[in-house]
Amino acid sequence: MSLPHATPQRQQQLQENFQKVEQRIEEACHEAGRPRESVQLLAVSKTKPLEDILSLAAIGQQAFGENYLQEALDKIAQAPELEWHFIGPIQSNKTRPIAENFAWVHSVDRLKIARRLSEQRPPNAATLKILLEINLDEESSKAGFNEQDIEDAVSEVLQMPHIELRGLMAIPMIRSDFEGQRAVFRRLKKLLGALQKKFPDARLDTLSMGMSGDLEAAIMEGATWIRIGTDLFGARDYGSKS
Ligand SMILES: *Cc1c(COP(=O)(O)O)cnc(C)c1O
């Protein structure tokens, strides 16, 4: 089976996008007084074809984030050497293929999901790295743990054998003002700080926050993974999926 290739124009477009994003990350790190290596770029490739992913991989991008399970599994089967992160909503009857095929899961939003991922992670595989998703906007419709429940959740998750809890993730409401963006990310950083104090033996070193529109604010507030889709790949096709 030969893998698909993007057209030369598309490759050039992706390379330009990648360089622009890289430059924004470097500038934000500089502004924040952080080393460039302290922030990792997750390329969010949902709805985008495998050839786009392979083009970015060819210029050095290793980690890709996907939201839709079946679409992701098709891509992973063709590019298993890349590092795949699941970042979408998780139905509890779909945890097994997630446990079997991904390196990271950012969107663990309830204990039942963590428990199933641990039980279903193949014992010969490396532990699955997970993040707990926090609902920072406290909208009841939104997924995620509430800030007041997180300590109890963390102490349970830390007992689960085949997953490794590494930190927190959030998808805050879109805000247009920089200070407002920073304020909400600062809350996630504070929450992680409190957990690090409470659980000093756990390796809680990860904050997954910041997307195309607010990566600078996220980096100012300590993001270690930023999740970028639109500004790398262009706008998504809002047909059946978004
Ligand atoms: C789609 C998506 C992103 C990427 O968002 P952009 O604004 O396109 O950069 C990041 N995180 C999650 C959880 C997403 O679903």
Q: For residue range 176-215, what is the model confidence (pLDDT) as tens digits?
A: 999 999 999 999 999 999 999 999 999 999 999 999 999 9
Average pLDDT along the chain = 95
Atom of ligand 1 nearest to the CA of 233: 8
Would you say residue 159 has pLDDT above 60?
A: yes
Domains of the chain: 8-232 (3.20.20.10)
Averaged pLDDT, 119-130: 97
Would you say residue 1 has pLDDT above 90?
A: no
Would you say residue 166 has pLDDT above 90?
A: yes
Q: pTM for the complete prediction?
A: 0.96
Residue with the smallest CA separation from ligand 1 atom 12 is: 87
Would you say residue 66 has pLDDT above 80?
A: yes
Would you say residue 79 has pLDDT above 70?
A: yes
Averaged pLDDT, 100-120: 98
Residue ranges lining ligand 1, Cβ < 6 Å: 44, 46, 67, 87, 171, 211-213, 227-231
Averaged pLDDT, 50-59: 98
Would you say residue 138 has pLDDT above 50?
A: yes
Q: What integer pLDDT is reported at residue 241 of this predicted model?
A: 46
Residue with the smallest CA separation from ligand 1 atom 7 is: 212
What confidence category does residue 3 fall into, taking pLDDT thresholds of 50, 70 and 90? confident
Q: What integer pLDDT is reported at residue 4 of this predicted model?
A: 83
Which of 40, 44, 168, 207 maximizes ligand 1 atoms within 8 Å of its Cβ, making it the mutation to test the pocket? 44
What confidence category does residue 9 fall into, taking pLDDT thresholds of 50, 70 and 90? very high
Averaged pLDDT, 222-231: 98
Q: Which residue has the tokens 């690090």?
A: 196
